[in-house]
Chains A and B, each alone.
Chain A
Amino acid sequence: MEDLYAKKAWELIAMLRGREVSAREVLQSVLRRIEEVEGDVHSYITLTEGEAEQAASRADEALAGGRDPGTAAGVPLAVKDVLCTRGVPTTCGSRMLEGFVPVYDATVIGRLREAGMTMMGKANMDEFAMGSSTENSAFGPTRNPWDLDRVPGGSSGGSAASVAAGEAIWALGSDTGGSIRQPASFCGLVGLKPTYGLVSRYGLVAFASSLDQVGPIARDVRDCALLLSLIAGYDPRDSTSLQVKVADYLEALEGDIRGLRVGVPGELMQEGLTPGVRANVENALRLFAELGAEVEETTLPHLDYALSAYYILAPAEASSNLARYDGVRYGLRVEGEDMLEMYGRTRAAGFGAEVKRRIMLGTYALSAGYYEAYYGQAQKVRTLILGDFRRAFERFDVLVSPTSPTPAFALGEKVEDPLAMYLSDVCTIPVNLAGIPAVSIPCGLEDGLPVGLQIMGKALGEAELLRVARVMEEALGFRERPRVARGEA
């Protein structure tokens, strides 16, 4: 029989309710797996076994008493360390917040607690969610379970690796420019970036407020839909949260894609794709057609400027969001002769190179005399990109592209070349700029490494998006599992 740690959440939920297994047994299986592989993978910054054991016991008691333990009960969850968890250290992968313990829960955490959440730990990430490889974590990189010499993607690399390696059943990530989808793609998982405003950002430590969204990373589309349904919905604490009725994402999974209009933006299929990525995505497009969808190439002309606009807007917001880490009230403080020196020393010691780079970029872009040329211009580009998507969705139900131009790259390969690293998110970034939802599902392997297919939908079109993803997941039949070992090469 398959180990419990390798099962999907919906399978475990059924087994728990059928009293085939106990929540404690599931947890024990995952804990044993963590013991086996965590030394190699390093998915977590903080493990919360104690809390998980209590949650599992509560779930078992409820089930024994014939009570509903909550949908998420007994299914170990990894939480990206960018989400505030009351009483549990929340570091954002930064020295700056080493030992910082929030006094409150993020809204999504509160909702999952009510659903009986069994939190396994706080997952590793690129510092303050800035990066595409999880190498920017102050607490050491996470490795890709498919090949330990490769990165798991980022910034939600710990979340993705934990699910891929069996150290958690599912996970929460956050996505500002691809930080859920790209690691999901690198780790052979399903990851969804919801519509901006569908999931509350309250308690999500901000990187770029107008782009950040929390979302699920899971082993299949059904788990993804389930986890999304537990966290989505209006939150009065988040002014950008949308006051909409949340659809029933599980029910929406049923159906086919006959007559579905699929657009393929040429801009996202240009140079830079590896042959394996191209072949697997083209294969997926053929499957779309076989299943009755109408596939057509299209153009979103302003996507060529998306990366540039993103690297103005996101750092600009970040430079302001990260100003609060000054050593005055919490987190790291390095003393100085006076206040200014204390500020300088604290921030010099607390932030890593990539965070400093983006703070400088953003500060510059917002400076008097440069604002219009940079921030103002980037906002205009953003508006044009939004227009491109709006027009495309008049003709198409979904848009499809690779999630990333390449499969997982080697550790250290792009550390010294920030631009090469940034290009890893070229297909995912436009989605954040437009605020629309997108999901990455595995669509094949290249040299033993997973390739991700990105499906983009209309704003608040998660139900349809998940249905399309579920149908394609079935058609693609991707069943490979990582070996948690070093690659052949």
Chain B
Amino acid sequence: MGGYEAVIGLEIHAELRTRSKMFCSCDASFGGEPNAKTCPVCLGLPGVLPVLNRRAVELAIRLALALECEIAPRCIFHRKNYFYPDMPKNYQISQYDLPLAVRGHLDLEMEEGPFRVGITRVHLEEDTGKTVHVSESGRIHGSEYSLEDFNRAGVPLLEIVTEPDIRTPEQARLFMQELKNIMEHLDVSDCKMEEGSLRCDANISLRPRGSQDYGVKTEIKNMNSFRALYRALDYEISRQREIMENGGEIVQETRHWDADANTTTPLRTKEYAYDYRYFPEPDLVPLEPERALIEEVRASLPELPAQRRRRFREQYGLPDHDAWLLTSSKSMGDYFEEAVAKGPDPKAVSNWMMGELSAYLNARGMEIGEIKATPSQLADMVSLVEEGVISGKIAKTVFEEMLETGKDARAVIADKDLTQISDEEELAAVIAETIAENPKSVEDFRRGKEKAVSFLVGQVMKKTRGRANPQLVNELLLRELREGG
């Protein structure tokens, strides 16, 4: 970074998990035949009026409270006017100068230490439809015509705006992961970035380290994964730094992240900025969330990631690092707790999840919810190791097979004949065979080369395809070598 520091603020949009849309009773779920989930209201037909979805308000308050925001005693909706074919009314019902919630924050921790990101505002608005360009490339340029799908039009959206408190792409990614984590715990959104139910734009500028001023910012759009967010910001920082180091000036503009090309490209400059002509939505009355409702929502808040993290440390005696990883998503924490409930050592379960399981997920780009092995299957496997039925090494093979097939550990062990051999008689035969086949090593041992034992243990393990109990083999071998000959 040299002498510059990045100043980053995020603007997040999350589709709320309501059954019906924001202002009508249409199904708000994802997918479906184009325009099957529409009615006169969300199609913006002449004469229709919006009616606010109470559930959307509750979910928005839920998240706002989790982010420690102040809920406005009275807020109003505004119309944001601009022409776009996927917006049926050519205005979006949104919020402007009187949003639902303001002044919250989210605390995060990195190796360098804790940091806090301020939440400027949380507000409610409606989503737009989707334009499909019909051409060979699927892009607007050269398309013959375009089609509109209004299934998403009117789905409730939450907009969350942060203060410019973020300094690095890593912090931005962590913030988004934790925000998603919180929303999952609250069950307010599906949070699927690839389906667009969670979206993120960033404002970013650079300034000389130590300065308190703000530089000229650019707005980055189209970052539809955590990885994209990280890479786009990383790229934009280098781009801006290069311009500044060469004495150039940053242009205030909106830029589009192109993941394939690994660059941001200008979308529109400030001169083309829309004038949205906001004014109060006359078809809706002011929203005045009752104290009782807010308190009811507050009382019903579930355990949040930060609280769960603390509990994992206290209840299961886990180190910080384990607690963070296991609470990095709701499903991860749920998986852990379900496994631990079956009785195995929590730290052992944690080790498996942070090691083998995470490696498996990362290698395949999967989510924990997508794997076949259940938490109780993992618990059984850990217990089998604890009981000495299989060795830790064998267990790795067993677990991999479980992840692939969803079979129980015992079934995998039986199928592959992987039970640990702890039977002395059975092992004695193999040991005798090994000694007979390796006279040189036996000789070495007798001349005082203790290391020769390790080689012989290895040979026994090889003959038993790793099933032999290594400690027992070591013991028996030593006895045999000393007593024999």
Contact = CB atoms under 8 A, between A and B. Distances in A.
A203 B47 contact: yes
Contacts of B146: 339
A408 B88 CA distance: 40
Interface string B272-314: 0001011100111100000000000000000000000000000
The A interface is mostly helix, strand or loop, or mixed, namely: loop
B39 to A, nearest CB: 9
Contact of B282 (A90, A317, A323, A339): A317
B83 A323 contact: yes
Contacts of B283: 206, 209, 239-240
A238 B48 CA distance: 9
Contacts of B284: 239-240
Nearest to A235: B49
A102 B49 contact: no
A201 B44 contact: no
B12 interface: no
B45 interface: yes
B148 A210 contact: no
Contact of B43 (A90, A202, A204, A329): A329
**By CB atoms of chain B within 10 A, which of A326, A328, A371 has the most?**
A328
B245 to A, nearest CB: 35
Contact of B90 (A100, A316, A324, A367): A324
Contact of A103 (B45, B49, B79): B45
B251 to A, nearest CB: 21
B46 A84 contact: yes
Interface in B44-78: 44-52
Nearest to A208: B282
Contacts of A366: 81, 277-279
Interface in A200-237: 201-206, 208-210, 236-237
A351 interface: no
A202 B48 contact: yes
Nearest to B86: A328
A205 B83 contact: no
The B interface is mostly helix, strand or loop, or mixed, namely: loop
**By CB atoms of chain A within 10 A, which of B45, B50, B85 has the most?**
B45
A456 B284 CA distance: 26
Contacts of A237: 49, 51
Contacts of B278: 366, 371
Nearest to A83: B47
B85 A367 contact: no
B277 A239 contact: no
A114 to B, nearest CB: 19
Contacts of B285: 239-240
B281 to A, nearest CB: 8
Contacts of A210: 282
A329 B40 CA distance: 12
Contacts of B407: none
Interface size class of A (residues with CB under 8 A): 35 or more
B256 interface: no
A324 B49 contact: no
Contacts of B46: 84, 90, 92, 97, 100, 102, 205-206, 324
Contacts of A92: 46
B148 A323 contact: no
B45 A323 contact: no
Interface size class of B (residues with CB under 8 A): 20 to 34
Contacts of B88: 324, 329
B91 interface: yes
B123 to A, nearest CB: 18
Interface string A337-351: 001000100000000
Contacts of B185: none
Contacts of B105: none
A239 B90 contact: no
Given A320-B79, A326-B85, A343-B83, A84 B282 contact: no
A209 B148 CA distance: 27
B24 to A, nearest CB: 9
A254 B282 CA distance: 37
B275 A367 contact: yes
B47 A106 contact: yes
A363 interface: yes
B45 A102 contact: yes
Contacts of B44: 324, 329
B126 to A, nearest CB: 14
B103 interface: no
B51 A330 contact: no
Contacts of A328: 85, 148
Contacts of B130: none
A327 to B, nearest CB: 9
A206 B81 contact: no
B207 interface: no
B89 interface: yes
A12 to B, nearest CB: 30
A63 to B, nearest CB: 33
Given A209-B282, A210-B282, A239-B283, A320 B49 contact: no
A121 to B, nearest CB: 18
Contacts of B48: 202-203
A205 B45 CA distance: 9
Contacts of A102: 40, 45-47
A373 interface: no
A106 B47 CA distance: 8
Contacts of B50: 239
A170 interface: no
Interface string A89-118: 010100001001011101000000000000
Interface in A282-319: 316-317, 319
21 contacts: A84-B45, A84-B47, A103-B40, A104-B45, A201-B49, A204-B47, A236-B51, A239-B49, A239-B50, A239-B52, A240-B49, A240-B285, A317-B279, A319-B81, A324-B44, A326-B83, A339-B146, A366-B277, A367-B277, A368-B275, A371-B279
**Across the A-B interface, the 9 shortest Cβ-Cβ residue pairs:** A323-B90, A366-B277, A209-B282, A210-B282, A205-B46, A203-B47, A84-B47, A205-B47, A368-B275
